[in-house]
Amino acid sequence: MQVSCLQQNLSRALAIVGRAVATRSNLPVLQNVKIGTEDGMLVLTATNLDIAITTKIGAQVERQGETTIPARLLSDFVNSLPDDRIDMESFNEPLGVGLKCQTFSANINGTDPDEFPPIPTVDRGATIKIDPKILRETINHVAFAAATEDSRPVLTGIKVEVNGDDFTFAAADGFRLAVYEGKLSDPLPEPIEFIIPARAMQEVGRLITSDDTPVEFTITSAGTHALFTIGTVEIVSQLMPGSFPNFRSLIPSDHKNRIVVNQSEFMRAVRTSSIFARDGSGILRIQVVSDEDGGKLSISSRAEELGDNHSEIDGAIEGEVDEESRIAFNNKYLSEVLDVLGDGDVAFEMTSASSPGVVRALGKDGYTHVVMPMFVQW
């Protein structure tokens, strides 16, 4: 292989595929990036066996070929080079690649490309098209609620349901549930549902650009893999086996009261109370209070040996309010959902201290976030 490309393009491509490089693995080759040529382009691929990312950049190809070399070493070296042309040439004794840019040069030892795991082919199946802005917002509003521990592997994924041009993404970790409903760019002829790792969806979200071209993802007919195409980048992810919980049954069908408050004010109050909640088992106490001005949302926390904190924000109340209109949450769960909702008004719905609370953003009718309460002494 003998190719030339621009340092800026190669650096950007390495940053993209680097998200899929394995940090720890029994297979050393998974810490490498595979570099090859195709149709006058330089092709870079990395995989950790759960997801694989491939991207292409323009290059002047003098001789075809492919190799694999340590991803981190190559990325660090390329990032240190000036913004100019890089000449690369593979060698066989030992296997590796030589790089040259202006007066800088390096030889990096590599591995036989035949040892690199093959990337699954996804060319047949249902293809879903979705507006990139909608997909990015959906991922941002849902993926963070997925579990990060493998005690229940299925909860580390996102349940996706598609029916016609309607889609639903749902994620839960046993303490909270995030559901986002929206519309596809084109309807599907047949309903489909699957579970995809939340981490794979987060990588897709990071790679979505300002381009208005719909993101396409294809699900194999066997339901084993998904292929996402975002411009010149392709992401292949395994789909997850198992049965996702019936998340719709976890969403309260009604509520005793509802208060609408400003998101930034609510977020500030939660962050302030979280300072004391850190030493108080992460507990935030929330109470809906009715007064002659309309209503308030009271947020408090306390740490037995340090002190306590209390704040109130104005809100518009609907429904019945009494002394039992109070509930406690983990401060982390409440602050994370408020953070993704952005500016605007937020509706907080509750029934009792032992029932789940619901957070919704006005203007985002398709989004519902359910948080399980904590049982505390008032």
Other residues' Cβ atoms within 10 Å of the Cβ of residue 377: 4
Torsion of CA 33, 36, 38, 40, to 10 degrees: 110
pLDDT band at 280, cuts 50/70/90? low
pLDDT band at 247, cuts 50/70/90? very high
Other residues' Cβ atoms within 10 Å of the Cβ of residue 209: 11
In a domain, 378, yes or no: no
179 and 289 fall within a common domain: no
In a domain, 334, yes or no: yes
Query: What one-character-per-residue DSSP string does 151-201 give?
Result: TSGGGGEEEEEEETTEEEEEEE-SSEEEEEEEE-SS--SS-EEEEEEHHHH
**Once rounded to an integer, what is the mean pLDDT over residues 258-281?**
90
217 and 130 fall within a common domain: yes
133 and 232 fall within a common domain: yes
Residues 37 and 3 sit within 8 Å (Cβ to Cβ)? yes
24 and 98 fall within a common domain: yes
Residue at 257: amino acid letter: N
236 and 267 fall within a common domain: no
With a cut of 80, say whether residue 305 has pLDDT above it: no
In a domain, 377, yes or no: no
d(CA 315, CA 337): 19
With a cut of 90, say whether residue 136 has pLDDT above it: yes
In a domain, 228, yes or no: yes
243 and 129 fall within a common domain: yes
111 and 147 fall within a common domain: no
**Once rounded to an integer, what is the mean pLDDT over residues 61-89?**
96
Query: What one-character-per-residue DSSP string does 218-261 give?
Result: EEETTSSEEEEEETTEEEEEEPPPS----GGGGS-S--SEEEEE
pLDDT band at 221, cuts 50/70/90? confident
d(CA 235, CA 229): 7
In a domain, 120, yes or no: no
Does 243 or 23 have the greater pLDDT score? 243
Q: Residue 25 has what pLDDT? A: 81
Q: Residue 378 has what pLDDT? A: 65
Backbone angles phi, psi at 333, to 5 degrees: -65, -40
In a domain, 141, yes or no: yes
Torsion of CA 47, 221, 142, 132, to 10 degrees: 80
Q: What percent of the chain has pLDDT over 90?
A: 80
Q: Give per-residue pLDDT as tens, 9-38.
A: 999 999 999 999 998 888 999 999 999 999
Q: Residue 278 has what pLDDT? A: 80
Count each helix (H run) and each strand (E run) in the chain, helices first: 6, 26
User: What is the pairing mode between strands 85-92 and 2-6?
Assistant: antiparallel
Instruction: State how many domains the chain has.
Output: 3
192 and 233 fall within a common domain: yes
With a cut of 80, say whether residue 292 has pLDDT above it: no
Q: Give per-residue pLDDT as tens, 173-191.
A: 999 999 999 999 999 999 9
d(CA 270, CA 311): 9
**Once rounded to an integer, what is the mean pLDDT over residues 92-98?**
90
151 and 232 fall within a common domain: yes
Other residues' Cβ atoms within 10 Å of the Cβ of residue 187: 13
Specify the CATH number for the domain of residue 163: 3.10.150.10
Q: Which residues contact 23 (CB under 8 A, 6 or more apart)?
A: 31
In a domain, 106, yes or no: yes
Residues 326 and 287 sit within 8 Å (Cβ to Cβ)? yes
In a domain, 325, yes or no: yes
Residues 196 and 146 sit within 8 Å (Cβ to Cβ)? no
With a cut of 70, say whether residue 327 has pLDDT above it: yes
Q: Residue 223 has what pLDDT? A: 87
**Once rounded to an integer, what is the mean pLDDT over residues 261-288?**
90
Q: In which domain, by residue range, is 134 found?
A: 125-248
34 and 137 fall within a common domain: no
Q: What percent of the chain has pLDDT over 70?
A: 99
User: Containing H/E element for 41?
Assistant: strand 41-47
Of 80, 96, 115, the residue that ends a domain is 115
197 and 218 fall within a common domain: yes
Of 192, 223, 248, the residue that ends a domain is 248
The sheet that has 60-63: what strands, in order across it? 60-63, 2-6, 85-92, 95-101, 104-109
271 and 241 fall within a common domain: no
With a cut of 70, say whether residue 77 has pLDDT above it: yes
d(CA 14, CA 214): 24
d(CA 143, CA 157): 8
Of 213, 248, 283, the residue that ends a domain is 248
Q: Residue 294 has what pLDDT? A: 75
